[in-house]
Structure 1
Amino acid sequence: MKATLIIVKYKPIFAIFGFLSMAIFRIPLFFNKNIQFYKLMGTGKNGTFDKVPDLSQWSILVTYNDEVTLEAQFGGFILKWFDLFCKKQTIYILQPIEGHGFWDQKKVFGELPPTTDYEGQIAVLTRATIRLNKLRYFWENVAPIASQMVTADGFITSYGVGEIPWVKQATFSIWESKAAMKKFAYRMPQHKAVIQKTRKQNWYSEDMFTRFIVKQKIEK
């Protein structure tokens, strides 16, 4: 199983086309036999969980089994749309290596071990569906911790993405090494405390954590 995440930034005068794409793109992606799973998502303003959406930036995640071209993954129509209306495109070709959890009740990246001996540069996708009665606790606790990520040792970049604002949230981040990522995730006392709260208080109705090797990064 492989995955591709594409992040696009629309030209200011074409920002409305970002909204339109979230509806229009569902049709070609639904009928695309080259992919197993797809998600159309908006993004937050500050590269992580954020109550304020970035209405000029949008993303698509797809998974697939065979070696297929970008055009086969997304379709020529979608890629041409981006070329016409977007001022920036960042594409990550990903190999999932570790993880657990579900997305829409599916193991979208296949059967993965919880950990491996890989220690190099790593990308991480964390996503959750937050229970409505836990939204206040999530935003009070998780958002302030997530904002500290950009200053962590070994941090490279991140994007806050989501299917439904405030409820279905995800962060995609890239780190210089697994050790750097783990230091932020598990050794920072505030972050560790919040992780424990999410489990004890059952904040999520569904969650998933997946790590990837970035096979290729393409920028346009």
Structure 2
Amino acid sequence: MSVVELRVWGVDRTGPALLRMATGRRRLRGVPGLRFAKLLGTGRGETFTPRDADPHHWGLLTVWDDGTDLDDLPAGAADLVAGWSRASHERLTVRMRPLTSRGRWSGHEPFADDPHAAAYDGPVAVLTRARLRPTRAASFWRAVPATVPDLHAAEGLRLALGVGEAPVALQGTFSLWDSPASVRRYAHGSPAHRAVVRRTRPEQWYAEELFARLAVTSVTGTHRGVAP
């Protein structure tokens, strides 16, 4: 079973952060044990549209072979993480293992299903990612903000933010929850969320999409001054 980690750094200077985003990918090439990696911009999670973009928080999602010591990363990844950490005023690290996943991310299936996922009842993360069809993006952005009030009022939600490789066409969400039951209550209990889900296929918003649920094994640090 693979190990998944999301690191989010809060930084004061956006120029150097953009440079690290542009140059960081090469440091992740050929890193032993690293199956999948994405440097990510983040959003405040207020509307889940491009206007949420947060230039002071940046992320790195990695998927590793089971057994990789994430406290002693291989060269390349270690250098990249150290550079972000030196420049940051706060850090959040979430470590996880996959439970269920459907769809693709840049043509890959980064998360394998756990055959025992149904028995898991601990803290959970939900990761979504979509590549929007250019002709359908405006329709998507008009629809999504209606889901936000119910999301932030949902029982069991610990954190919700936007994530994406680009602020316009490559977008996603990352959320932390107390339990799978919390996720189900929101997904089935929010009329606005159900309405958007029903529109997804008819509207053909996505050229590629992924939805993953992950078991949370540890959370350290803060995001916007709050420990989730």
> What's the TM-score once normalised by structure 2's chain length?
0.88
Structure-1 residue corresponding to 2:15: 16
Matches within 5 A, 1:1-220: 1-10=2-11, 12=12, 14-46=13-45, 49-52=48-51, 53-70=53-70, 71-72=72-73, 75-111=77-113, 116-219=118-221
CA distance in 2, matches of 1:41, 1:173: 15
Q: Secondary structure at the match of 1:148?
A: helix
Measure, in 2, the Cα distance between the counterparts of 1:170 and 1:46: 10
- CA deviation after TM superposition for structure 1 residue 202, in Å: 1.4
Deviations 1:160-187 (A, max 9, x none): 1001212111111011121111111122
| Equivalent position amino acid for 1:46 in 2 | G
Farther off after superposition, 109-118 or 93-102: 109-118
Counterpart residue type for residue 196 of structure 2: V
> Partners of 2:149 and 2:116 in 1: how far apart?
26
Cα-to-partner distance string for 1:102-126 (whole Å, 9 max, x where unaligned): 1112111124569623233211001
Unaligned residue ranges in structure 2 (runs of 5+): 223-228
| Alignment partners' CA distance in 2, 1:137 and 1:115 | 34
One-letter amino acid of the counterpart of residue 26, structure 2? I
Specify the code of the residue in structure 2 equivalent to 1:28: R
Once the two structures are TM-superposed, the CA of residue 143 in structure 1 deviates from its matched residue by 2.6
Q: Secondary structure at the match of 1:37?
A: strand
TM-score under structure 1 length normalisation? 0.91
CA distance in 1, matches of 2:148, 2:129: 13
Residue correspondences, number: 218
